[in-house]
Amino acid sequence: MRKEVIVEPERLMLWTCALFSVIVVCGCGRSPDPIPTAEAPRNPVQLELYGEAPVATSAECSATIERLQILASAVEAYEDAHDAYPEVATLDELTDVLGREYGRDLPRIDGWGRPFEFVMVQGIPEIRSLGADGLRDAGEPRGEVDDPGADIVFFDEDFRQWPGASR
């Protein structure tokens, strides 16, 4: 014949508390601190915006200037921190490096839905939107221009070309 063991509730509670105390004191069951990896996401950092943003002529232009300023500011912050610009050849490589560095996704397209252009000019990055018309302007950036379709260019910590307000 089988005997059933009946444990009194007070005794059960006493053993449960004792076991819990041993677990807490010994650290049993404690998960180790996570090991940081290069792929671990970081908290986004506040970037100091470089360059004075020009007045936008349209909603698309405004979005482009804002996105371009964020991207360019990440480039300049990287240069300040590392005494060199990122060694990359494409916009995707640039945004990947900067995104890992600053723990955030960075813009890759302008307000018209086209990717920014990225080139190194004498060791300094130039980031450009092809503007409203989608065509690359010839020649050097010329500051504020009358053409509403003009490129928007950020180079060497400042906006170098943008379409001016209608006059």
CA–CA separation, 27 vs 148, rounded Å?
67
Residue corresponding to tokens 């092809």 = 130
Answer yes or no: is pLDDT of 90 > 90.
yes
Closest among 119, 91, 123 to 107, alpha carbons compared: 91
Q: What pLDDT score was predicted for residue 53?
A: 78
Length of the chain: 167
CB-based contact 60:112 (threshold 8 Å) = yes
Question: Which CATH number characterizes residue 113's domain?
Answer: 3.30.700
Q: pLDDT of 21-36, one tens digit each?
A: 555 455 554 444 444 4
Q: pLDDT of 54-78, one tens digit each?
A: 888 889 999 999 999 999 999 999 9
- Name the residue range of residue 74's domain: 59-163
Answer yes or no: is pLDDT of 137 > 80.
yes
Q: pLDDT of 106-124, one tens digit each?
A: 999 999 999 999 999 988 9
CA–CA separation, 120 vs 101, rounded Å?
20
Position 65 in a domain: yes
Q: What pLDDT score was predicted for residue 42?
A: 47
Domain count for the chain, please give it: 1
Which helix (H) or strand (E) is 128 found in, with range? strand 124-129
Position 130 in a domain: yes
Mean pLDDT (the chain) is 80
Position 11 in a domain: no
Position 45 in a domain: no
Position 9 in a domain: no
Closest among 12, 70, 85, 61 to 161, alpha carbons compared: 61
Q: What pLDDT score was predicted for residue 164?
A: 85
Position 101 in a domain: yes
Position 105 in a domain: yes
Position 150 in a domain: yes
Closest among 89, 129, 132 to 109, alpha carbons compared: 129
